[in-house]
A and B are shown apart, each in its own frame.
Chain A
Amino acid sequence: MEGGSASGSASALSNDENLVVSCEDSSSPVGNELELGLTLSLGRKGYRDCRVPYADDSSSSSSSSSLSRASVVAGIKRTADSMAATSGQVVGWPPIRTYRMNSMVNQTKTSASEDQNSEIRPEEVNKNRIDATKMRNSIFVKVTMDGIPIGRKIDLNAHKCYESLSNTLEEMFLNPKTGSNTRECDGRMETPLKILPDGSSGLVLTYEDKEGDWMLVGDVPWGMFIGSVRRLRIMKTSEATGKAQMIL
């Protein structure tokens, strides 16, 4: 049973915001592919060949049928290095709840800093914990769109710039396709609809800041935006625009 492309399985990982691979991690495409190869090999014909216990480290992820189990396992370990120490090297493995997984990651950080300082200031510890429970410095904000009853959540720290954010939101609300939640910030605009407030799509992206005021996204530098945004809302610029195709 062959079939399904590598990029198809990518979304098994990347569709989940919790496992976002950040823009600046240049090894991430490779890491993802390696992992895809594994996921593929585990679920494809190649899996049946994985009964041989002797290692075959020369095999690469691309030829799934020749992967032996040992190299699958080795591959799992290799992926551990290429991905950040997050919720496991294979999606959802080991089977530990996200909440607990984050505590573990946090404690690895805290114990490292414990060695350096004999005292732990409670504020520091709490900050670490708060970071961890926010998924390793993720900033999750609610995003709603007019006309859609159910909002989504997005990790702002997975983006470096407004374009990346805009692309992700477009995918999420207007045109969900395969693909990761993050894009390189090279100005590529593939979809015709833009959410950034230039009005061309009939939609504007706004955000509520810490003071409770609603502002247009894109006016302030990205760093300042990240620091003050509380939630996002996609609004229609004019009534005349018919209901945009929403798929949620």
Chain B
Amino acid sequence: MALRLPSKVLEHILSFIDSNEDRNSVSLVCKSWFETERKTRKRVFVGNCYAVSPAAVARRFPEMRSLTLKGKPHFADYNLVPDGWGGYACPWVDALAAKSPSLEEIRLKRMVVTDECLEKIAASFKDFKVLVLTSCEGFSTDGIAAIASTCRNLRVLELRECIVEDLGGDWLSYFPKTSTSLVSLDFSCLDSEVKISDLERLVSRSPNLKSLKLNPAVTLDGLVSILSRAPQLTELGTGSFAAELKPEAFSKLSKAFSNCKQLQSLSGLWDVLPEYLPALYSVCPGLISLNLSYATVRMPDLVELLRRCSKLQKLWVMDLIEDKGLEAVATYCKELRELRVFPSEPDLDATNIPVTEQGLVYVSKGCRKLESVLYFCVQFTNAALITIARKRPNLKCFRLCVIEPFAPDYKTNEPLDKGFKAIAEGCKDLRRLSVSGLLSDKAFKYIGKHAKKVRMLSIAFAGDSDLMLHHLLSGCESLKKLEIRDCPFGDTALLENAAKLETMRSLWMSSCFVSFGACKLLSQKMPRLNVEVIDEHPPKTRPESSPVERIYIYRTVAGPRMDTPEFVWTLHKNPEIGVSRLAIK
């Protein structure tokens, strides 16, 4: 007879297991392990808010204290998902208010959050501590004020790149005079000026404040005043860094920074004037993370700053850094783990190329710990990709965006197949990959064959035929999220690999060749997938063979969703459209 582990012992063991992936595995062992695990899970992560109902989550995890939810598909960041698609936080908050009143932390990404929703959060969760909204929209500063005023123990309030209806800077004054619990505040995405005196008072009475990210409306003077009240900060997002150049202003700023001996992360720096950069020199040696991606600082000034950052692990910068600057990074920033290089110009232009593939090659050679790359440039070569793969087999995230669609290797005029083959083959721990440039089906054959640990794959303007999709769906074992735009995929590959879709979180395809008939068929064959056709054409007028604009397919145990807008078709919504008569081999 098998010995049974007493549940108290199991509970104790589980208290050491934080990773949700591990906990998910634990919960599959047997019923009693499932029960013990679910009763002890405190941090719940739901990668797709439509994959499960809020009631089910609340029921399963009675001790839940922290919930992370993601809504819209990733390509919504680039305007590919029309407004009104969905991703509403309200139903979740309503359900949790009733069933999980002890909830303390809510983190939402790409969701639609209303003021009413925020008010409900403030009113329903007595010990609410953490609110982090990333790329969310639908609310105004009124909702923020409600959170600030009502959540007595609020520790974290972060608005990261949200689209907020800004009704003024009064929201800050709603923090009660007695609140002293703030640890992190991020209002960098808001426009309006806040009263600096309110901010000063709030900062002064928050001894635990470690992270503060100001919005661009905060001036340098304001910054100096805040820093003098919060020298214990470890993360700082400055406001606007532009001001009339006065020697006293500079020395005050310098002194304020030099007093922040624990500063590890620096961001903001909008409109930074190069003359003010030396004020930052004193904090550089301690910096682990530096976000210069909004700072239009050019070359020699950049190097002066970066060569002092010997401990830097994360660098976000604009392509104004040029290849030369990246060479300097390779020399001085030996601890670098993550590099992101963003374009400084919104227009496609091959005439002024600040960074080339050479810049990334320098960093790959010089920075041994480099594992995450996001790189925008105009063109690339296979040779460079092969070098990068050879030098940095430890890459975990490789996102290359060659801005010119279909750009071949500009030296040999070949597709970039060989290069990405090297990446897929060489970087065995690769978990996230974005490809670009001219790519044939072959490239995807290699990726399917070698990229066994890739979980998220993004593809645009690539491939020749259905084979491409087939290689990916049949080859990439760990694939969880696949997003594709403007590629010539059709129905065959999709329908042949339908079963694979249940092992993935989601598939997004836009401007491809998938027909309406195939969508209907897939919908019928796979009841545990939600197949959404996002298209302006009303379904009744759509012939079977016409390609649809966008499809979004995701696995779900919650069944079809009830809040689809007019332009989203699902089988559930229009069953009278009937069975697809499309013949599939």
Contact = CB atoms under 8 A, between A and B. Distances in A.
Nearest to A179: B536
A73 B404 contact: yes
B79 A92 contact: yes
Contacts of A142: 140, 165
A178 B75 CA distance: 22
B165 A92 contact: no
B420 interface: no
Contact of A95 (B77, B217, B243): B77
A96 interface: yes
Contacts of B243: 122
Contacts of A69: 406
B300 interface: no
A54 to B, nearest CB: 12
Interface string B165-203: 101000000000000000000000101010000000000
B240 A92 contact: no
B403 interface: yes
Interface stretch (B148-156, B355-363, B484-492): B484-492
B439 interface: no
A183 interface: no
Interface centre among A2, A92, A120, A152 (most CB of B within 10 A): A92
Interface residues of B, number: 78
B464 interface: yes
Contact of A80 (B77, B78, B348, B546): B348
Interface stretch (A126-134, A215-223, A232-240): A126-134
A15 B219 CA distance: 37
Contacts of B512: 43
A248 B566 contact: yes
Interface string A87-98: 111111111111
A110 interface: yes
B567 A80 contact: no
B547 A44 contact: yes
Contact of A9 (B82, B294, B513, B549): B549
Interface in A30-50: 39, 42-44, 47-48, 50
A126 B217 contact: yes
Contacts of B84: 150, 152, 248
Interface string A43-69: 110011011010000000000000001
B296 A125 contact: no
Interface residues of A, number: 75
A100 B293 contact: yes
A72 B406 contact: yes
Contact of B216 (A120, A126, A149): A126
B80 A92 contact: yes
B80, B83, B193, B408 — most chain A CB neighbours (10 Å): B83
A1 B114 CA distance: 41
Given A16-B82, A97-B161, A73 B405 contact: yes
A76 interface: yes
B380 interface: no
A96 B78 contact: yes
A176 B79 contact: no
Interface in A198-248: 230, 247-248
Given A85-B347, A93-B460, A133-B189, A1 B271 contact: no
A176 B485 CA distance: 25
A53 to B, nearest CB: 7
A125 B240 contact: yes
Majority SS at the chain B contact face: loop
Contacts of B537: 4, 8, 178
B257 interface: no
Nearest to A142: B165
Contacts of B165: 140-142, 153
Contacts of A101: 346
Nearest to A9: B549
B547 A105 contact: no
A246 to B, nearest CB: 10
Interface core residue of A72, A85, A95 (most chain B CB under 10 Å): A95
Contacts of B75: 92
B7 interface: no
Interface stretch (B30-38, B277-285, B337-345, B552-560): B337-345
Contacts of B294: 100, 103
Interface string B316-347: 00000000000000000000000000111111
Contact of B405 (A4, A53, A76): A76
Nearest to A3: B546
A200 to B, nearest CB: 24
A22 interface: no
B24 interface: no
A92 B485 contact: yes
A137 interface: no
Contacts of B138: 151, 153
Contacts of B47: none
Interface string A145-170: 00001111100000000000000000
Nearest to B217: A126
A104 B343 contact: yes
Nearest to B543: A3
Contacts of B549: 4, 8-9, 12
B406 A19 contact: no
B265 interface: no
Nearest to A247: B566
Given A94-B401, A122-B240, A89 B82 contact: no
A11 B460 contact: no
Which are the 4 A-B pairs with shortest beta-carbon distances? A92-B78, A3-B546, A11-B536, A43-B511
10 contacts: A3-B547, A12-B550, A39-B511, A42-B461, A43-B547, A73-B406, A77-B348, A94-B348, A151-B138, A178-B536
